[in-house]
Structure 1
């Protein structure tokens, strides 16, 4: 996720902090300092850090459960509204998805139980009312927060864990796309409820949560719908067949000229045999020009180990490969391993929009003989 800083690695997953989370800590610290001095500021920051330590544990619960089914979790990112564990893919078997979804709240149940039973924390009306009172017991407040994390995450609506459980239960009777659509609608209804509550009470944070929940639910529904549609379409339907390439000897100056001359945002780097060596993205090009200059070879800047597929592969398989490798593009090769086309997430989105609009019968381009027009620079 952009604007994130890596602070460590746990169980094979990078732990990242989004810059907005650091801003939250700064805001908490300044507010507490103004009202109660240095001690209050330290206590306020410590309380937020403790909460998000519980959030990290929650996300690690998902990650460890997913690992059981052979699904890696490349990273976990802390945001002001919680944590996000990026799984390589979601389990497609309903029972596996239920286990992964419930593993996170189960961790919070364990934390709360330990605080209540072993350390003597209390959960009652007084502890709930004192949740934002620094004078109340620190452990009792943390225990109460974990109870709220469990209850909130078990709400049966996307993107909460309860929404994934709901989707898994529905998937036992409907196809995955339909089950996702129902769970996403529940999430959007919940978002409207949060938004109305926030507007009527003047709580900006609730409105912020409402926007996040609505967009996350819509995004999940769209992503699953695209993947479902991609199972019946070959990669050849969405691949880019007219593009310029760069040779291994090309410099950033050559790439900059190609960027101006074309509408491409990424340039495959291929050798003399037509083998894909990497992908140079527009972002990497601009950053490297400012950092190292025009004469830098593109091979020092390009994304290496770009996954490749054959053009008769399903489009859903192409999307899965890009997601698993976190790649900006995917090469399409012939039987001899020579690059003949490539696919980007943006091109897939454009293809899906055209398919939905019914325009592909008129607009689908005729496949070209090869990608090397005009000749590559190098």
Structure 2
């Protein structure tokens, strides 16, 4: 459901967020839910401002409970500098608000329960989003830093799977707390977080290959446009399946593949384009030696 537009960016709210607002309202916590909602919007807009600064065309923003997802006409995922700075912009926004509010409290300009909750929620959002799993900002920073070593798809799947199991842990802990005592804000938040992690992590895993193929297409276009690009070498055996090679490709380097023979000598060289086109034509398990 679309809420509004900011500088041409469509801001939408996922139906699960409406469910959260209703549940918190039933528990008498609607004011706290609305405050978190406002802080999440600001957190996500900080990501979008950095994206715009890098020249990415931001198309929309979708808000989930305690998080969100940005949609850009351009691929920043896996780019070391761009994705890291975009990811860190959200927690930085919350930390700026936190220290600003604390400065007002120290100078006696703001006091009371609202100021305490404002500081607590900003600290929670900043620290929580730096947990190194996907879909959180900390996971995006880790992906950007390690994608060159382990490949985009493998890194994304590992971090997203870690995020899903973290969600399972949150949900189980919430159930235990709910069974032991009163069903209140704490257990409810843990259950919602568990569902959010599982849903968002599954989405990251399912879209990893699609996003990566888009990256490869853009990379070829960028190479043809600029006339040059940094490259890296991979040495493989003839029976290596094409999908295994593709998973080693990175978003910001063009791969050259050295096909070795039985004596570990170089038999022929294939380009990244040769590998991708062969995989699309012959299938993901086709051995590279038959290309």
1:139 CA displacement? 1.2
1:145 is matched with 121
Uncovered stretches (5+) of structure 2, i.e. residues with no partner: 179-186, 218-278, 287-291
1:163 Cα deviation (Å)? 0.6
Instruction: Work out whether residues 51 and 145 of structure 1, in 8 Å CA contact, stay in contact via their aligned partners in 2.
Output: yes
Q: 2:51 aligns with which of 66, 70, 74?
A: 66
Q: Distance in 2 between matches of 1:95 and 1:213?
A: 25
Instruction: Confirm or deny that 1:114 pairs with 2:100.
Output: yes
Number of the residue aligned with 1:217: 201
Greater displacement, 188-197 / 109-118: 188-197
TM-score when normalising by structure 1: 0.49
Of 1, 5, 14 in structure 1, the residue corresponding to residue 2 of structure 2 is 5
Contact 1:115 1:121 in 2 (8 A): no
**What is the DSSP-based 3-state SS (H/G/I as helix, E as strand, rest coil) of the residue aligned with 2:135?**
coil
Higher relative contact order (CA 8 A, sep 6+): 2
Higher relative helix content = 2
How do residues 138-217 of structure 1 correspond to structure 2 at under 5 angstroms? 138-202=114-178, 203-217=187-201
Question: Any stretches of 5+ residues in structure 1 without a counterpart?
Answer: 33-43, 123-135, 234-350, 359-378
RMSD value, Cα: 3.2
| Offset of residue 230 of structure 1 | 6.5
Q: For 1:1-378, what aligned pairs fall within 5 Å after superposition? A: 4-6=1-3, 8-32=4-28, 44-91=29-76, 92-120=78-106, 137-202=113-178, 203-228=187-212, 355=283
When Rg is computed on C-alpha atoms for both structures, the one with the higher figure is: 1
Per-residue CA deviations over 1:310-338 (Å, capped at 9, x if unaligned) read xxxxxxxxxxxxxxxxxxxxxxxxxxxxx
- Kindly state the Cα deviation for residue 170 of structure 1 after the two structures are TM-superposed: 0.9
Q: Is the 8 A contact 2:36 2:66 kept in 1?
A: no
Check 1:20–1:177 CA distance in 2 against 1; reply closer, same or farther (3 A cut).
closer
Q: Does the 8 Å contact 2:64/2:196 carry over to 1?
A: no
Counterpart for residue 235 of structure 2: none
Residue 72 of structure 1 contacts residue 88 of structure 1 at CA under 8 Å; is this kept in 2? yes
Shift of 1:101: 0.4
Q: C-alpha offsets along residues 49-108 of structure 1, whole Å, 9 cap, x if unaligned?
A: 222211111001100111122212222233344433333344142111100000011100
Q: For residue 113 of structure 1, report the CA deviation from its aligned partner.
A: 0.8
- For residues 74 and 141 of structure 2, the distance between their equivalents in structure 1, rounded to whole angstroms, comes to 16
Alpha-carbon distance, 1:221 to partner: 2.5
- Do the aligned residues in 2 keep the contact of 1:102 with 1:161 (CA within 8 Å)? yes
Aligned length: 213
